[in-house]
Amino acid sequence: AQSVTQLGSHVSVSEGALVLLRCNYSSSVPPYLFWYVQYPNQGLQLLLKYTSAATLVKGINGFEAEFKKSETSFHLTKPSAHMSDAAEYFCAVTREAGTALIFGKGTTLSVSS
């Protein structure tokens, strides 16, 4: 069965520092993977998705993620954090039957000046 593990429920960085949010997945079929961002009391917004094309996926707001099959990972990165990046981030994988998503528990990113 499909599953997603996000390592670290809370990550803190300084403004201008590298952002690295970790996501590992388990899937019995080739996975489709997503990263979403959620600001307080709002819905989720898609950052990027992997659908078996290029393994390095570029998303909005300067974020990117690399699909590594050998490591079953899909980590999210951004070279330089901005205060506005402070939010909760969710990694998700499509279920085997191609229906709804399975979400990780989320990682809260804090950015300090």
Binding residues (CB under 8 A) for another protein: these are: 9, 32, 34, 36, 41-46, 49, 51, 90, 94-95, 98-101, 103-106
Q: From residue 79, give the alpha-carbon distance in Å to each of 6, 33, 76.
A: 20, 21, 10
Query: Smallest distance, Å, CB 109 to another protein?
Result: 15
Task: Give the tokens for residue 74.
Answer: 């899909």
Query: Smallest distance, Å, CB 59 to another protein?
Result: 12
Q: Tell me the residue ranges of DSSP E strands in 17-63.
A: 19-26, 33-38, 44-50, 56-58
Query: Smallest distance, Å, CB 98 to another protein?
Result: 4
User: Hey, what amino acid is at 63?
Assistant: F
- Pick the closer one to another protein by CB: 34 or 67: 34
How far is the C-alpha of 65 from the C-alpha of 113, rounded, in Å? Answer: 25
Query: Smallest distance, Å, CB 24 to another protein?
Result: 14
